[in-house]
Chains A and B, each alone.
Chain A
Amino acid sequence: MPEGRTGSQLDRNRSSLLVQAPRQIAGTALSLALTFAGLTAVTFVIARVMPADPVLAIVGDRAHQDVYDAVYRELGLDQPIFVQYLRYLGQLFEGDLGVSIMTAQPVLVDLLRFFPATLELATVATLLGVLGGVPLGVLAAVRQGRWLDHLIRVIGLFGYSVPVFWLGMLALFVLYAKLGWVAGPGRIDIFFDGMVEPVTGLILVDSALAREWEIFRNALGHLVLPAGILGIHSLAYLARMTRHFMLEQLGQEYILAARVKGVPERAVIWRHAFRNVLVQLITIVGLTYASLLEGSVLTETVFAWPGIGQYITSSLFNNDMSAVLGGTIVVGVCFVGINMGSDLLYRLVDPRAR
């Protein structure tokens, strides 16, 4: 059989896509379910098995034995552990993450309030990472072995190695306290707090919708530094991976063919090589986005950013276990969901991955 893609082969590929896509989706759904089961099993163990006596934590040590027994049964602790886990899962599916001791509100309500701040921070950070890291990676690959390549490598190494919470502190000190170039900690100046109607909870979007450009600018001033700091790690990672993928593509024969044909170098790089890299980058960007959602814990602490990471850590210090575990589950689900979603997208977009 001759090499290369004939018409019939393309047809066959297309039909195999139709056959395989549902199987891929089913496979991903299965591993999603398994991962979710694993995640909830861990939080279940932490919530129900590790505390010495969950009943005592509710009724206190002076309660009558009858009260104790009633609560014991109410919590389902007389049931086998597997049944307890299923009950726990059932509660989760109903959105019941328990009540926070600290705020006296359902944990889910709290999380919905804090989540948009984290989402806004992680999204802008990822955007900055992509906008910086991808061009740097392409540039490094094109200038392989030259000083620019080495410089980009050093930037990448720095991004991998620096403790973000420390860098954030120093940046806040220099850029805010000394130079006054950016706004300080928090999401927005107290003066503007609560002045826009929260529609999405993302201040940038809400203020843009309300056409309150002054508030938009103020929020942006607060956001740019934490997002930049948080984005450094993903910038480093994306630059390294983009460089790697680009070098892989630039060594292929079709690139040589394009060059021999006289295609301008710019078009060779961006239209031929980069387009093939783009698909591979989907997974990488998904990975970094997910890791920024969880990695924002430290950045949020440094910048007093009222997001989910701060909610989890402050609950932790107040021994508010249902709040901590609720946050863990929500972040975990987002993390797993984004990872699987980008993996699936990649498989659907790129025929080579099938």
Chain B
Amino acid sequence: MSAVRAWLLVDVPRSRWQARCQRFFLGWLAFRQNAGAVAGLAIVAALVAAALLAPWISGSTGVVPDLGNRLQPPGAAFWFGTDELGRDIFDRIVWGSRITLYIVGLVTVIVVPIGLAVGVVAGYVGGWLDSALMRLTDIFLAFPRLILALAFVAALGPGLENAVLAIALTAWSPYARIARAEALTLRHSDFILAARSQGIPHHRVLAGHVAPMCMSSVIVRLTLDMAGIILTAAGLGFLGLGAQPPTPEWGAMIALGRDYLLDQWWVPAFPGLAILVVSLGFNLLGDGLRDVLDPKSRS
């Protein structure tokens, strides 16, 4: 163990691999100091674990009604109680973590490449292309996200994919801004010139040298944004425009539980708590990552 530690902390790394490991380890040491960030990481890890292990953690599929056990209060048999169709709320929340993770993943896959591409090209190329792309970014930045998502869902029909698409459409623009700012500072740096003078074409410089330098800022911003994205998706689900029943999406579960609030408070309370905890986790993790990866913007 101490040999590994010494290898990780040696002053002059011998290989590229060692240098990478070192950087990661030093970041981890700084990250570990921040109790909130570690808590956030634990929550996000628990979310991933729940999504992966859902069939083993939960005793049921979370969608099949069991009318004999309608609206049971929380207890030993049902930790979070049961809903109006007798489904175990704990099980439904566990299965719902897959949907939350799916939303998070899908938004990331759409938003990051678009934002990076637009921003990096704008910052690297400059000139009129930069102005045009940034005007476009500003337009999308100025859009009201939730209302536009509503309009999109109205046109495309309710559903989880459409809700995510609508969110992603307005969510990419901050990443373009960030990537452009990084690309601007890198444009005339020596290592880019060196790469260019070796004859590497522009598109490969962009993909291989400029874009990776933007990743840390993008990751920080993405983690901090995730809470908002999860909340928006849950809000659409609550309005009945996101995931449709019987899918155990947390927002939709709250909407269904609304009618039972007065006498069976647990039906809407626990799904909301799940949303609160997960978005808190992403916020804490994002704050911690920012301190480690992006010391400039430390507040």
Interface residues of A (CB under 8 A from B): 31, 34-35, 38-39, 42-43, 46, 50-51, 157-158, 160-163, 165-167, 169-170, 173, 177, 240, 243-244, 247, 290-291, 293-295, 297-298, 301, 312-313, 316-317, 321, 324-325, 327-328, 331-332, 335-336, 339-340
Q: Which of A35, A177, A327 has the most CB of B within 10 A?
A: A35
Interface contact A332-B268, CB-CB below 8 Å: no
* A-chain residues with CB within 8 Å of residue B146 when the two chains form the complex: 294-295, 297-298
CB distance from A24 to the nearest CB of B (A): 15
A172's closest neighbor in chain B, by CB? B261
A31-B135, A31-B138, A157-B284 known; A297+B150 contact, CB < 8 A: yes
Interface contact B231-A163, CB-CB below 8 Å: yes
Interface contact B235-A298, CB-CB below 8 Å: yes
* B-chain residues with CB within 8 Å of residue A293 when the two chains form the complex: 144
Interface contact B155-A50, CB-CB below 8 Å: yes
* B-chain residues with CB within 8 Å of residue A313 when the two chains form the complex: 150, 239
* B-chain residues with CB within 8 Å of residue A298 when the two chains form the complex: 146, 235, 238-239
Taken together as a complex, chains A and B put the C-alpha atoms of A281 and B226 apart, in Å, by: 25
Taken together as a complex, chains A and B put the C-alpha atoms of A170 and B268 apart, in Å, by: 9
Interface contact B138-A35, CB-CB below 8 Å: yes
Interface contact B152-A46, CB-CB below 8 Å: yes
Taken together as a complex, chains A and B put the C-alpha atoms of A252 and B270 apart, in Å, by: 47
CB distance from A34 to the nearest CB of B (A): 6
Interface contact A166-B227, CB-CB below 8 Å: no
* A-chain residues with CB within 8 Å of residue B275 when the two chains form the complex: 163, 166
Report if B251 contacts A (CB, 8 A): yes
A-B contacts besides A166-B238, A169-B268, A335-B144, 5 pairs, CB < 8 Å: A35-B142, A294-B144, A298-B238, A324-B154, A331-B144
Interface contact B283-A161, CB-CB below 8 Å: yes
CB distance from A312 to the nearest CB of B (A): 6
Taken together as a complex, chains A and B put the C-alpha atoms of A327 and B254 apart, in Å, by: 26
1/0 contact trace for B39-72 toward A, CB 8 Å? Answer: 0000000000000000000000000000000000
Interface contact A331-B283, CB-CB below 8 Å: no
* A-chain residues with CB within 8 Å of residue B148 when the two chains form the complex: 42, 328, 332
Taken together as a complex, chains A and B put the C-alpha atoms of A34 and B227 apart, in Å, by: 30
CB distance from B206 to the nearest CB of A (A): 26
1/0 contact trace for B257-293 toward A, CB 8 Å? Answer: 0100110010011011001100110011000000000
* B-chain residues with CB within 8 Å of residue A316 when the two chains form the complex: 150, 153-154, 241
Listed by A's residue number, 11 A-B pairs whose Cβ atoms lie within 8 Å are: A160-B227, A161-B280, A163-B275, A163-B276, A166-B238, A166-B268, A166-B271, A170-B261, A328-B151, A335-B144, A335-B147
Taken together as a complex, chains A and B put the C-alpha atoms of A295 and B148 apart, in Å, by: 11
Interface contact A247-B299, CB-CB below 8 Å: yes
Interface contact A157-B283, CB-CB below 8 Å: yes
CB distance from A135 to the nearest CB of B (A): 18
Interface contact A244-B299, CB-CB below 8 Å: yes
A46-B154, A165-B254, A301-B239 known; A177+B262 contact, CB < 8 A: yes
Report if B143 contacts A (CB, 8 A): yes
Report if B125 contacts A (CB, 8 A): no
Interface contact A327-B147, CB-CB below 8 Å: yes
Interface contact A158-B272, CB-CB below 8 Å: no
The 4 closest A-B pairs by CB, nearest first: A166-B272, A38-B139, A294-B144, A161-B279
CB distance from B42 to the nearest CB of A (A): 15
* B-chain residues with CB within 8 Å of residue A35 when the two chains form the complex: 138-139, 142
CB distance from A118 to the nearest CB of B (A): 11
Taken together as a complex, chains A and B put the C-alpha atoms of A295 and B150 apart, in Å, by: 12
Taken together as a complex, chains A and B put the C-alpha atoms of A198 and B178 apart, in Å, by: 47
* A-chain residues with CB within 8 Å of residue B271 when the two chains form the complex: 166
Report if B195 contacts A (CB, 8 A): no
CB distance from A58 to the nearest CB of B (A): 17
Report if B240 contacts A (CB, 8 A): yes
Interface contact B276-A169, CB-CB below 8 Å: no
Report if B7 contacts A (CB, 8 A): no
1/0 contact trace for B215-232 toward A, CB 8 Å? Answer: 000000000000110010
Taken together as a complex, chains A and B put the C-alpha atoms of A167 and B234 apart, in Å, by: 13
Interface contact B142-A336, CB-CB below 8 Å: yes
Report if B30 contacts A (CB, 8 A): no
Interface contact A339-B147, CB-CB below 8 Å: no
Taken together as a complex, chains A and B put the C-alpha atoms of A277 and B187 apart, in Å, by: 33
Interface contact B147-A297, CB-CB below 8 Å: yes
Task: State which of A38, A161, A332 has its C-beta within 8 Å of the C-beta of B276.
Answer: A161
B297's closest neighbor in chain A, by CB? A244
Interface contact A173-B262, CB-CB below 8 Å: yes
CB distance from A233 to the nearest CB of B (A): 9
Q: Which of B139, B142, B239, B241 has the most CB of A within 10 A?
A: B142
1/0 contact trace for B145-178 toward A, CB 8 Å? Answer: 1111011111110000000000000000000000
* A-chain residues with CB within 8 Å of residue B145 when the two chains form the complex: 294
CB distance from A247 to the nearest CB of B (A): 7
Interface contact B147-A328, CB-CB below 8 Å: yes
In chain B, residues 85-123, which have Cβ atoms closer than 8 Å to a Cβ of chain A?
Answer: none
